[in-house]
Structure 1
Amino acid sequence: MIQLRGVTKSYNGTIKAVDQLNLDVPKGEIFGFLGPNGAGKTTTIKMVTGIIRPDAGEITINGKNIATDTLEAKRQFGYVPDSPDLFLRLKGLEYLRFMADIYEVPQQLRKERIQQLAKRFDMSDALGDTIQSYSHGMRQKIMIMGVLVHHPEVWILDEPLTGLDPKSSFTLKEMMREHADSGRTVFFSTHVLEVAEKLCDRVAIINKGKILFCGTFPEMQQHFQSNHSLESLFLELTKHE
């Protein structure tokens, strides 16, 4: 579970990227975090993962405070950033072993998990190659595999479907569903509103650092007394902001 209470972040002391944000992302559901460019999505995710500190407010992950109990909080989640261009000089297998070392995954268990993940993402034949030789989609897949190798309770995914081929995209969505159905948490941002409408149990729409709506898609339709798509409601909701 992820909880944000009164979280605020400003840049240059004037521009509020995130403004008094309150959010609950419970266990057992896929939670979509939606918003136009510059709305505060990535800033929020970077605060949740401890990459940047909020100016005010509190963030907890499974009850662990990211500011005061940082290591324990970070053990709770796996994070896929919005850019997969990391650790380019390592071979795929070296990167996965490196991630397993960080999270102290036992040797036999890591071997099984790497094999399973490589099979699901069609990466078995590429693990001996350097990441810089990978296509964008392959880099995205190896990053996803790296954060899943320690089987984290909470998945935090920033635009995870970008660059994935249809089969890999389907596989990841399938795995997200499995993870949530097992009583764990999936928190992800996406620009692909059709995917969010079909995949998410609940969504939050953020714009200019404030939550405009949080709930299920049917609740959103009921709120706006409309049977339009998520895309139509999203555009309507954000156009005047």
Structure 2
Amino acid sequence: MISVQQLTKRFGEQVAVDGITFEIPAGQIVGFLGPNGAGKSTTLKMLTGMLAPTSGTATICGHDLQSDTLEVKRHVGFVPESGAVFESLTGLEYLEMVAALYAIPEAAARARIEQFIAFFDLSFSTLTDKLLGAYSKGMRRKVVITSALLHNPPVVFFDEPLDGLDANAAVGFKALIQTLAREGKTIVYSSHILDVVERVCDRVLIIDKGRLLLDGKPETLVAESGAGTLERLFTQLTGGTELERRAEDFARTFRP
């Protein structure tokens, strides 16, 4: 479903993504991990056609990222970290606009929207009576997730999807992506909440400074490293242990 070969992105002299290579089959949930500035969001933007790569190749569902960009966009859903929406629209107007962009018939679009708002425990009046600019962060996130899944894409990219969701919505979302994977959809899940990644992902990719450091099943990587948890392994690979030492030094400044 996703094939990436030596994908690279440079911004002037800065190398944001440095020749990463991986493949992801259908029905797999893959955690895409890395510290801030590691190149995760840049990679996701390339794979969704939002940024052109500097070099390398990628295909989504057999469609080439650069020569067949429109088909790539038809086959993917994307929940960006920003969760940006058109704030002057109501939730329903925004979702209907997205449905129109994907040429979803009006009746089918309305049925899918109603299914999603029922899943997220939203009232229909919420979608029709308030502009998105007045929504809470969590409500806006639910609308963005709905918009990404509305056209039933075979590949879905999530960048920090739990940001703003309450505990119940987060539990429901985790069940949702596991259900989507069982139905054969490919899920790429980028998050800093590593205990969630460890529980729901079949596989993790860890990236730092634009380079792919590790690729494998979470339990296998943790066992082979002896780290005990995915979080501990992550900090060892990406320099987080140094941050722990700095935190200790900082805390000492408050001691008498």
Taking structure 2 as the reference length, the TM-score comes to 0.90
Amino acid at match of 2:68: D
Aligned to 2:60: 61
Structure 1 ranges of 4+ moved more than 4 A: none
Amino acid at match of 2:83: P
State how 1:156-167 maps to structure 2 within 5 Å: 156-167=157-168
Q: Deviations over 1:110-158 (max 9, x none)?
A: 1211100001112223101110010111111111111111111111111
Q: Is the 8 A contact 2:227 2:233 kept in 1?
A: no
1:205 to 2:206 alignment: yes
1:23 to 2:22 alignment: yes
Aligned to 2:9: 9
Q: Is the 8 A contact 1:80 1:160 kept in 2?
A: yes
Aligned to 2:252: none
1:108, CA displacement in angstroms?
2.0
Q: Is the 8 A contact 1:66 1:74 kept in 2?
A: no
Give distance in 2, aligned partners of 1:237 and 1:66.
30
Give distance in 1, aligned partners of 2:58 and 2:48.
9
Q: Could you list the runs of 5+ residues in structure 1 that have no partner in the other structure? A: none
Larger Rg computed on CA atoms: 2
Q: Is the 8 A contact 2:26 2:185 kept in 1?
A: yes
Q: Is the 8 A contact 1:5 1:22 kept in 2?
A: yes
Count residues with an aligned counterpart.
Answer: 239
Amino acid at match of 2:18: D
State how 1:1-241 maps to structure 2 within 5 Å: 1-12=1-12, 14-124=13-123, 125-128=125-128, 129-224=130-225, 226=226, 228-239=228-239
Give distance in 1, aligned partners of 2:66 and 2:148.
21
Taking structure 1 as the reference length, the TM-score comes to 0.96
Give distance in 2, aligned partners of 1:26 and 1:90.
37
Q: Deviations over 1:180-207 (max 9, x none)?
A: 0111100110000000000100000000
1:45, CA displacement in angstroms?
0.5
Q: What is the percentage of aligned positions where both structures have the same residue?
A: 43
SS of 2:77's partner is strand
Q: Could you list the runs of 5+ residues in structure 2 that have no partner in the other structure? A: 243-256
Give distance in 2, aligned partners of 1:53 and 1:104.
25
Give distance in 2, aligned partners of 1:158 and 1:221.
23
As a proportion of its length, which structure holds more helix? 2
